[in-house]
Structure 1
Amino acid sequence: MSGKKLLCCGILRHELEHLLGDQNFNITYLDAALHVDFDKLAQSVTADLRDMGDGYNPVVIGNQCHPEMEQMVAKYGGRVIRAKSCIEMLMGEKMAELDAEAKTFYLTSGWLENWRQIFREGLGWDAIDARQNFGYYDRILLLDTGIIPIDDIDLLEFYDYAQVPVEIVSVDLNNLRQLLDQLLGG
């Protein structure tokens, strides 16, 4: 896989760098907050794929992060990883089981690092907006891959903002590893 190019959502930066290790990839990371604006996300994906040039360009972005993600990527010879979102990339089929238990909003360490940029700046949610939007959920599950430490202060500040109980759930990287292998032809 030497010298391959990869376009990825910045939310999964830590997980991808861990899994890809010392393999020679030229990785372009998209700003994590682009999910909140389809036009900006499309512009960034298109520009980055154009910059990557001809050839096979794998993309690690959920195919439901933008309603036209697969079509956009296909125009530039790319292929999107086979998952709806970063959460599904990490959880796989276990997500349906957890969804059946309660109305659940999921966070990754990347989401926790970027929540202010995504919700406050990107969506413009103040505390009232956050409580109205997160109030639909019974719980928030923070998926802990064990790669980077969870910042307790960030977690408490996010809880204070969302006002929904946050539970930490350990997850491994097996599902993401398998999806990457399929995408990269390994």
Structure 2
Amino acid sequence: MIVCCGILQKEIEHLMQGREEILYLDAGQHVDPEALARSVTGALKGINGTNIPLVIGRQCAPDLEKLAGELGARVIRAGNCIEMLLGDLLAEYDAEAKTFYITGGWLENWRKIFVDGLKWDEIDARQNFGFYDRILLLDTGLTPIDDEKILEFYDYTQVPIEIRPVKLDNFRKLLEEIIDG
């Protein structure tokens, strides 16, 4: 059994190809670290076992590693889902411009995350996203990229959105490490 954030569900399912049973947590919960910690706690307590792989970024909830250790789980070696996908490329892309990163899963869930979760209206969004030069949509090829959703997200943020294809090599390596560990 693996416990994962739902934001990378398509990528995880593609890489795992049914080899493990997977429990997905709601992708919008990371906007409330305490709710995410409660959800992780509930999921791990509901699983009968130890050494359970937890595919949630270490930065997504305070004290996630401590919590995981107390509940018999191990956390993937990455700060967040973007780092899981990009690995060392993250620093290279950061050097190009002030960048906010999203995945296909983020694009599918942006309203749940920003509007419902953080309660940001368009003014809040523009103030918070105004720091960035671009939004970089990491395209793994597994989630269809809908032009209308990109335009809606652009209208909300007013920040140019670039699409960059990414391979799953780094994520595959991290998943193998946590599962085999």
Same fold (TM over 0.5): yes
The residue number in structure 2 matching 1:100 is 95
Q: Is 1:124 paired with 2:119?
A: yes
| Letter matched to residue 6 of structure 1 | I
CA contact (8 A) 1:54 1:76 kept: no
**What code does the residue aligned with 1:8 have?**
C
Equivalent of residue 164 in structure 2, options 155, 166, 169: 169
Cα deviations by residue, 1:23-71 (Å, 9 ceiling, x for unpaired): 1x22111111111111111110000000012222000000010121101
> For the Cα contact (< 8 Å) 2:135–2:161, is it kept in 1?
yes
Structure 1 residue 76, shift from structure 2 partner: 1.2
Task: Give the alignment partner of residue 18 of structure 2, picking from 12, 22, 25.
Answer: 22
The structural deviation recorded for 1:112 is: 0.3
Aligned to 1:39: 34
Which runs of 5 or more structure 1 residues have no equivalent in the other structure? none
Superposed displacement of residue 22, structure 1: 2.9
Scaled by the length of structure 1, what TM-score is found?
Answer: 0.95
| RMSD across aligned positions (CA) | 0.9
Runs of 4 or more above 4 Å deviation = none
Q: For residue 157 of structure 1, what is the aligned residue in structure 2?
A: 152
Q: Is the 8 A contact 2:34 2:61 kept in 1?
A: no
**d(CA) in 2 for partners of 1:39 and 1:83?**
19
How many residues align? The count is 181
